[in-house]
Amino acid sequence: MKGRKIFGGNTEGEVLATKDDISFYGGCDPETGVIVEKGHELEGQSISGKVLVFPTGKGSTVGSYVLYALSKAGKGPLAIINKSTDPIVAVGCIISDIPAVDQIDIEQLKTGQKVKIDADEGVVSII
C-alpha cells in the first residue's frame, strides 16, 4: 500500500488497529502508553512497541507532547499509520522520530498482522 510520508524511517512490527480516532492528551496514559479513554475500542490496551493504526487524531493540542513523553520513556508506538494525519499527531511524530505514513486504506490492516513500513517512500507492506 502506498501513502504519504509524514515522518521518515524504516521499521517492521505488529499492528494494533482501531476504527476510533485517538486523543493522546487525556486519552492515553503518558507513562505506560495504555489507552484510557472510556469507551474507546482500545481502552486498556498499550500502544507501546506497536504499529499503531487509527483514522486520525482528535482533541487537545497538547497531544504532541504525550507522544514525545512516551518515546523518551521507550513506551512509544513503533510507527503510526493513519487514514489522514492531523497536525497534532504529525508534530508528535516529527519531534519524537516516529516513522509515520498516512493516506492508507487502513481497513485492510488488522490487529496482530505483521507489517513492514518504509515511511520515506510512504509504503506499507503486509508480511
Partner 1 sequence: MGLQLTSEEREMLEGKHGKATKKAMDLIVNLGEIYGAERLIPISSVQIAGVSYHNLGEAGLEYLSDMAVDGKARVLTTLNPAGMDLEEWKKHGISEDFALNQQRVVDAFAKMGVITTCTCTPYLIGNLPHYGEHIAWAESSAVCYSNSVIGALTNREGGPSALAASLTGRTAEYGFHLQENRIAEVKYEIKTELKHTDDFGLLGQVIGERTRKKIPYITGIPQATTEELKSFCASIATYGGIAIFHMEGITPNRTDIPEDTEIVTQEDLNQARVTMDDKDAEIDFISIGCPHASIKEISQIAEMLKGKEVVEGKTVWITTARPTKDLAKKMGYYDTIEKAGAFLVSDACCAVAPLKGRFKGLMTDSAKACFYARGKNDFKTEIRTIEECIREATA
Q: Which residues are catalytic?
A: 60
Min. distance of Cβ 33 from partner 1 in angstroms? 13
User: Which of these segments, 12-20, 43-51, 87-95, 104-112, binds partner 1 (CB under 8 A)?
Assistant: 87-95
Q: Is 73 in the site for partner 1 (CB under 8 A)?
A: yes
Provide the 3-class DSSP secondary structure of residue 52: strand
Longest dimension (CA), the chain: 36
Nearer to partner 1, 14 or 117 (CB): 117
Q: 112 exposed, middle or buried (CB, 10 Å; 0-12, 13-18, 19+)?
A: exposed
Q: Is 30 in the site for partner 1 (CB under 8 A)?
A: yes
Min. distance of Cβ 54 from partner 1 in angstroms? 16
Residues 6+ apart with CB under 8 A from 66: 24, 25, 28, 30, 92
Min. distance of Cβ 20 from partner 1 in angstroms? 15
The CA distances from residue 112 to 46, 93, 120, in Å, are 13, 22, 24
Nearer to partner 1, 95 or 123 (CB): 95
51 C-beta neighbours (distance < 10 Å), count? 26
Q: Is 126 in the site for partner 1 (CB under 8 A)?
A: no
The binding site for partner 1 (CB under 8 A) comprises: 4-7, 25-26, 30, 58, 60-65, 68-69, 72-73, 85, 87-88, 90-92, 94-95
